[in-house]
């Protein structure tokens, strides 16, 4: 018998998309942090429970979401960041696909609490497994947005099985936070795990942030670089060849503020060090 073609319901589309967007708790942390940064946050608090498997709550002091628009934030392909193909060519925000919150909402219990500077109180929306629960309702909270993600994959047990131990997932979450925090030293970050503060970086200079995150060895061997050539500018810190490593795990590269791990860039770094570093050693 010939199979019948039918359009999938929206929630199922999001759940399928979630397979790509939300690989593990760390992917939620990445998406929600990027949204906070796109909203102009100056301070971001990250609270994790059981490596993020049980709960990820991220609070920012950005410009918030108008309560009339709150239901759109969790809708697929709804974004405030681009409107046309030409916007896509010059996108300056970290996000633009309008898929992250819808995907996260489809595989968790998500609540968004948000307040704009014009609001006299906060508003909240709750979505469980892609289904909105009740109406957008008044809530309490400061200006900014708190995204609370509980019970990741509660409705997709097959994916839940692939979650590793809480400490492994926590490690991945912290990797994501470090990468992002290195790119924005002007933003303050604080991280809690199971109710305990585990990291706190105030708004600081790039050198201070790099030292706080990369530690003593890099601090003692770093060289600032700043090169301008035509439209291209390269800046940051590189290690003296005396402080090399076996792996590339201490290399953090960014293009226009976005963390990028790329073969061409890695090759350029290797090439730059080829006269001063043995072939099996990696600079920091
Ligand atoms: P994208 O970031 O690609 O636009 P998302 O699904 O991540 O898509 O978010 C959808 C929309 O929700 C964003 O375009 C933005 O308008 C709004 N939004 C999400 N998080 C925040 C936040 N922390 N502060 C303000 N607005 C937000
Ligand atoms: Mg986003």
Measured in angstroms, how far is the CA atom of residue 205 from the centroid of ligand 2? 26
Q: Whose CA is nearest to atom 10 of ligand 1?
A: 73
The 3-state DSSP class for residue 53 equals coil
Note the helical H segments in the chain.
10-21, 25-38, 70-73, 85-89, 100-106, 157-160, 166-183, 206-214, 216-221, 263-273
Q: Which atom of ligand 1 is nearest to the CA of 103?
A: 6
Residues 205-217: tens digit of each pLDDT: 999 999 999 999 9
Q: How confident is the model at residue 28 (pLDDT cuts 50, 70, 90)?
A: very high
Q: Whose CA is nearest to atom 25 of ligand 1?
A: 64
Average pLDDT over the chain, rounded to an integer: 95
Mean local confidence (pLDDT), 250-273:
94
Residue 17 pLDDT greater than 90, yes or no: no
Q: How confident is the model at residue 271 (pLDDT cuts 50, 70, 90)?
A: very high
Q: Residue 260 has what pLDDT?
A: 95
> Alpha carbon of 6 to those of 19, 95, 235, 263: distances in Å?
21, 31, 52, 41
Mean local confidence (pLDDT), 43-57:
98
The 3-state DSSP class for residue 198 equals strand
The DSSP symbol for 24 reads S
Name which residue leads in pLDDT, 152 or 92.
152
Q: Which atom of ligand 1 is nearest to the CA of 96?
A: 3
Would you say the CB of residue 95 lies under 6 angstroms from ligand 1?
Answer: yes
Q: Residue 20 has what pLDDT?
A: 83
Q: Using a CB cutoff of 8 Å and minimum separation of 24, what contacts does 154-159 make?
A: 154/107, 154/108, 154/109, 154/129, 155/15, 155/107, 155/129, 156/15, 156/18, 156/107, 159/19, 159/107
Q: Residue 49 has what pLDDT?
A: 98
Q: Residue 18 has what pLDDT?
A: 87
Measured in angstroms, how far is the CA atom of residue 225 from the centroid of ligand 2? 31
Residue 14 pLDDT greater than 90, yes or no: no
Mean local confidence (pLDDT), 3-32:
92
Mean local confidence (pLDDT), 210-231:
96
Nearby residues of 241 by Cβ (< 8 Å), 6 or more positions away: 273, 276, 277, 283
Q: How confident is the model at residue 123 (pLDDT cuts 50, 70, 90)?
A: very high
Measured in angstroms, how far is the CA atom of residue 175 from the centroid of ligand 1? 22
Would you say the CB of residue 35 lies under 6 angstroms from ligand 1?
Answer: yes
Would you say the CB of residue 105 lies under 6 angstroms from ligand 1?
Answer: no
Mean local confidence (pLDDT), 150-158:
94
Residues 166-207: tens digit of each pLDDT: 999 999 999 999 999 999 999 999 999 999 999 999 999 999
Q: How many CB atoms are located within 10 Å of the residue 89 CB?
A: 8
- As a whole number of angstroms, the distance between CA 171 and CA 247 comes to 18
């Amino acid at each position: 018998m010939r199979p019948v073609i039918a359009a999938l319901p929206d929630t199922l589309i999001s759940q399928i998309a979630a397979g790509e967007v939300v690989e593990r708790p760390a992917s939620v942390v990445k998406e929600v942090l990027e949204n906070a940064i796109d909203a102009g946050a100056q301070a971001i608090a990250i609270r994790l429970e059981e490596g993020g498997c049980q709960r990820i709550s991220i609070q920012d002091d950005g410009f918030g979401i108008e309560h009339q628009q709150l239901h759109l934030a969790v809708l697929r392909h709804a974004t405030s960041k681009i409107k046309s193909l030409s916007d896509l060519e010059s996108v300056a925000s970290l996000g633009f696909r309008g898929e992250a919150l819808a995907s996260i909402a489809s595989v968790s219990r998500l609540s968004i609490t948000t307040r704009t500077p014009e609001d006299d109180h906060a508003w909240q929306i709750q979505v469980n497994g892609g289904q909105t629960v009740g109406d957008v309702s008044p809530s309490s909270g400061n200006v900014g947005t708190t995204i609370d993600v509980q019970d990741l994959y509660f409705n997709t047990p097959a994916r839940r099985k692939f979650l590793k131990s809480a400490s492994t997932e926590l490690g991945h979450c912290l990797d994501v936070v470090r990468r992002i925090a290195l790119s924005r030293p002007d933003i303050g970050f604080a991280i809690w795990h199971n109710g305990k503060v585990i990291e706190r970086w105030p708004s600081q200079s790039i050198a201070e942030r790099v030292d706080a995150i990369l530690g003593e060895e890099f601090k003692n061997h770093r060289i600032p670089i700043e090169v301008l050539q035509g439209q291209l500018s390269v800046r940051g810190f590189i290690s003296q060849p005396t402080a090399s490593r076996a792996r590339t795990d201490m290399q953090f590269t960014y293009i226009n503020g976005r963390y990028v791990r790329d073969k061409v860039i890695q090759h350029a770094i290797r090439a730059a060090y080829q006269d001063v570093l043995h072939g099996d050693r990696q600079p920091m």
